[in-house]
């Protein structure tokens, strides 16, 4: 699949595609009272530049920035190290484009790296991103504080703000943003110690094969963090010199496509602050940091092989049990002291919770949670692909603010007949319903597809 994309897109590197793929794997449920549609293309920010391309491979149009017509990244190698240039914005008129989350601060582009739940990372308030950049933004729109995301952003406790910043989502989760441009790196310690503080901050190490990661199988194994092999690996990682990733294929006698077939493991260093330092390991000793894919280091064969041999044999490893995030979030919704009591107790037989989300009011200066704003549950049905429904619980004052300004019923008006009157029909004949009910100062909104009026009534009538 990626080879076909490369053939049709010309100079788009596989690392760009994998960056988008990695972010897709990390994507989170987005709140909204009714969710419709999705954009069909991606903006990649990597390798010292940004690329926007269409997924319509028959068009093959690529608008690049920070990357010249020959496909060069602009990375400079000197006695000081490898310098990744600052990004220069481009514009696109693509009708369906979706951007990787980023914003501009002090002239640098900060690109989303990971999402973290329940982590005390938020430091000093630094500014508010405007979120004014989209696929139609002209070059002069890429100004200070502009970006594809909006809202307050902060320093990360213990991390240089010139390298990493963070935002806090209304769900309480923190997203980190890395400045992967306008920096110079000579040896591994410039990144892994000076910026990420790897050796002094990691408390656990996990590993996953390329196959497991690529296909989302989540077969992750726990390693012994105190193993001498891990310690030696970090030592050599810190000593190794950085080189541009684009130089590796020629060095190893490969093509830019085949080098990706040599990836063998993903290594996850779990840090004290809740973050993860995600490394990608390739044959011949090459190692890349997931947040900075345009450069890499090459480790000595002895220390690299010692680690990969241990991973291959799974010496001292045990499989990590990955918690079910949906179940955790569902329990959190149900136990919410402010709005949890308004969730319907009736659930359609055969339907299961696909996603659950609690959203909070946040203090913009401190990112502290000051109260519950919204609960949202989404249900899907295995035996009927046309049956889907979601329930949103929020305050009366939020009406019209979160994307919902549709029909509302008073509790005394609720009946199967009243719901039937408000049903619509899709072109394929499937019935739809989007309606809310007032329960005092609280609104409970049902958005459904393939649900009959009586079942919809049972859901809304079960609100205590």
pLDDT tens per residue across span 423-441: 998 878 889 999 999 999 9
Residues 11-20, mean pLDDT to the nearest whole number: 46
pLDDT over threshold 80, residue 311:
yes
Of 423, 409, 412, 428, the residue nearest 453 (C-alpha): 423
| DSSP codes, 278-345 | EEEEEGGGEEEETTEEEEEEE--HHHHHHHHHHHHHTTT-EE-----HHHHHHHHHHT-TTTGGGS-S
pLDDT at 451: 94
pLDDT at 417: 97
| DSSP codes, 93-121 | --SS-EEPPEEEETTEEEEEEEEESS---
Residue 233 to residues 266, 300, 387, 462: CA-CA distances in angstroms? 14, 9, 51, 57
pLDDT at 21: 53
Domain 186-322 has CATH 1.10.20: no
Q: Pick the residue with more confidence: 279 or 133?
A: 279
Q: Are 208 and 281 in contact (CB under 8 A)?
A: no
**What percent of the chain stands above pLDDT 70?**
81
Q: Any idea which of 37-41, 81-85, 227-231, 374-378 has the lowest mean pLDDT?
A: 37-41
pLDDT over threshold 80, residue 29:
no
Q: Pick the residue with more confidence: 122 or 37?
A: 122
Domain 325-461 has CATH 3.40.50.2300: no
CA–CA separation, 278 and 280 (whole Å): 7
* Residue 48's pLDDT band (cuts 50, 70, 90): very low
Maximum pairwise Cα distance, the chain: 77
Instruction: Name the β-bridge partners of 202.
Output: 271
Of 164, 13, 181, 194, the residue nearest 83 (C-alpha): 181
The mean pLDDT value of the chain amounts to: 83
* Residue 298's pLDDT band (cuts 50, 70, 90): very high
Q: Are 85 and 125 in contact (CB under 8 A)?
A: no
Of 66, 77, 80, the residue nearest 111 (C-alpha): 66
Q: Pick the residue with more confidence: 36 or 433?
A: 433
What are the structural domain ranges in the chain? Answer: 1-184, 186-322, 325-461
């Amino acid at each position: 699949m990626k080879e076909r994309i490369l053939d049709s897109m010309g100079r788009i590197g596989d690392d760009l595609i994998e960056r988008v793929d990695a972010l897709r794997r990390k994507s989170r449920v987005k709140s909204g009272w009714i969710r419709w549609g999705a954009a069909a293309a991606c903006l990649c920010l990597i390798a010292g530049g940004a690329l926007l391309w269409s997924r319509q491979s028959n068009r093959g149009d690529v608008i690049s920035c920070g990357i010249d017509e020959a496909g060069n990244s602009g990375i400079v190698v000197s006695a000081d190290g490898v310098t990744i240039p600052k990004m220069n914005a481009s514009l696109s008129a693509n009708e369906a484009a979706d951007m990787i989350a980023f914003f501009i601060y002090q002239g640098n582009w900060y690109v989303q790296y990971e999402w973290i739940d329940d982590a005390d990372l938020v430091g000093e308030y630094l500014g508010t991103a405007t979120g004014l950049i989209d696929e139609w933004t002209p070059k002069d729109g890429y100004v200070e504080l502009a970006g594809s995301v909006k809202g307050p952003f902060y320093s990360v406790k213990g991390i240089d703000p010139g390298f990493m910043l963070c935002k806090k989502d209304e769900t309480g989760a923190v997203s980190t943003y890395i400045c992967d441009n306008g920096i110079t790196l000579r040896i591994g310690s410039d990144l892994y110690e000076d910026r990420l503080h790897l050796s002094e901050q990691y408390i656990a190490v996990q590993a996953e094969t390329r196959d497991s990661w690529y296909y989302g199988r989540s077969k992750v194994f726990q390693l012994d963090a105190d193993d001498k092999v891990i310690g030696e690996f970090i030592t050599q990682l810190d000593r190794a010199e950085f080189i541009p990733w684009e130089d590796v294929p020629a060095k190893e006698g490969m093509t830019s496509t085949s080098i990706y077939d040599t990836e063998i493991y993903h290594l996850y260093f779990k840090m004290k602050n809740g973050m993860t330092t995600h490394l990608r390991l390739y044959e011949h000793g090459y190692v890349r940091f997931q947040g900075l894919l345009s450069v890499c280091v090459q480790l000595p064969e002895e220390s690299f092989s010692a680690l990969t041999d241990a991973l291959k044999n799974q010496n001292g490893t045990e499989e990590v049990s990955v918690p079910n995030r949906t179940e955790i979030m569902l329990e959190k919704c149900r136990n919410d002291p402010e709005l949890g009591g308004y969730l319907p107790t009736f659930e359609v037989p055969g339907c299961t919770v696909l996603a659950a989300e609690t959203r909070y009011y946040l203090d913009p200066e401190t990112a502290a949670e000051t109260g519950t704003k919204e609960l949202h549950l989404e249900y899907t049905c295995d035996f009927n692909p046309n049956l889907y429904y979601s329930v949103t619980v929020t305050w009366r004052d939020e009406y019209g603010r979160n994307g919902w300004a549709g029909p509302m019923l008073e509790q005394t008006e609720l009946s199967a007949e009243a719901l039937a009157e408000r049903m619509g029909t899709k072109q394929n004949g499937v019935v739809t319903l989007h309606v809310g009910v007032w329960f005092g100062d609280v609104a409970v909104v049902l958005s459904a597809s393939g649900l009959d009026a009586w079942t919809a009534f049972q859901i809304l009538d079960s609100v205590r």
